[in-house]
Amino acid sequence: MIKPHGSETLNPLFVYDSDQHDTLKHVAEELPSLLVSSATAANAVMMGGAYFNPLTGYMNKADALSVAEKMRTTSGLFFPVPVLNLTHDISSLKGHHKLALRDPNMEGHPVLAIQEVQAIEKLTREELHFIAEKVYRTLDESHPGVKAFLSQGQYVVSGPIQVLSFSYFQEDFPDTFRTAVDIRNEIMERGWNRVVAFQTRNPMHRAHEELCKMAMEGVDADGVVIHMLLGKLKPGDIPAPVRDAAIRKMVEIYFPPNSAMITGYGFDMLYAGPREAVLHAVFRQNMGATHFIIGRDHAGVGDYYGAFDAQTIFDEEVPDDALEIRIFRADHTAFSKKLNRVVMMRDAPDHTKEDFVLLSGTKVREMLGQGIAPPGEFSRPEVAKILMDYYQAQP
């Protein structure tokens, strides 16, 4: 089986031992508290589940700047984005060696993790902008990732963590949320060796379904892990429970038995385009996938990135020995009226735009809101029904 990134075995930071877990929960109640940002909380969840393997906690200022500049920590570990605990106010933290990190996304702000404080450092405005520009390729605060990053504060609280909760993800998505440890174990139980991972923050239409099947066939995979982002998205994106229901229905009817796993992970979307594509590859290697599908404008938003920047970064900036996982490069995928099947548009050079069934997201949302199912070439009817019910229920 493919090795995790940066170590021989996975090192989840969640405290699984029940006695130790109970002890730490009591200890946490006596510690000074820090109500963290949603992004910091998501980082804790991801470290708890070993998706950020081999990190042991939040990066310090030097590592954050080094990772932003060259995707390496000061010790040389390859990592595509800084993983930070940023805050505005450190007045209550000074002099303390341990903190209880509290969850901003759950009622009552329960303890999410205990952090050992190794350093508290301040990023200048110029340094914050340097990180944002390197990671997001823009300083435009209309970009949702830039806006979220620059709103978290200037103080970097670094040090190892012990994770005590997976936030709301386990409770709200019990059938879908899985750690990298869980997925790796299930891959082994299923007897899969070559595994394709597919990232989605949207419902899956025919093109996505066929892309997964093309990738499986192209790399001779035993199965595909459909891996849904369950954390915070931008306004207008379809809520995770609706996506979950639509994807489960599609897999139930249109995928062969034991060929697809439906899973999800708890992370806030960065919309960082190429850098986030590399981060997504790290997640998938850690969970045991050998191949990862990256399509047009992966993890992008608006017009901030070129259509294939998330693929070319692996050629231009990611060293050959940085990751073991391999990338399956996908073009825009659509139903061909000429061939009567879904194809990648690059594989149909004799086609014109009119030869494909192409619908904009805006047009699809309008149709669904009016109770009109998109054509069967675009969306499976059972999936369309779930989405129509959602859109028609909106005020």
Nearest C-alpha neighbor of 331 from the set 361, 299, 305, 296: 296
Cβ atoms of 46 and 11 closer than 8 Å:
no
- Amino acid identity of residue 235, one-letter, is P
Q: Which helix (H) or strand (E) holds 364?
A: helix 361-369
Q: Is 346 a catalytic residue?
A: no
- Which of the residues 11, 185, 193, 202 is marked catalytic? 202
Cβ atoms of 231 and 358 closer than 8 Å:
no
Q: Is 185 a catalytic residue?
A: no
| DSSP string computed for 226-276 | EEEE-S---TTSPPHHHHHHHHHHHHHHHS-TTSEEEEEE-------THHH
Q: Is the dihedral of CA 105, 12, 215, 315 positive or negative?
A: positive
Cβ atoms of 69 and 317 closer than 8 Å:
no
H-helix segments, 79-205: 125-136, 144-150, 169-172, 180-190
Cβ atoms of 159 and 57 closer than 8 Å:
yes
Calculate the alpha carbon distances from 231 to 4, 182, 270 in Å.
23, 18, 10
- Cα gap 256→315, rounded to integer Å: 34
Dig out the tokens for 288 from the structure: 């045991």
User: How buried is 288 (Cβ within 10 angstroms: 0-12 exposed, 13-18 middle, 19+ buried)?
Assistant: buried
User: How buried is 174 (Cβ within 10 angstroms: 0-12 exposed, 13-18 middle, 19+ buried)?
Assistant: exposed
- Amino acid identity of residue 384, one-letter, is A
- Which of the residues 201, 248, 326, 365 is marked catalytic? 201
- Cα gap 215→194, rounded to integer Å: 11
Which SS3 state, helix, strand or coil, does residue 172 take?
helix
Active site residues: 201-202
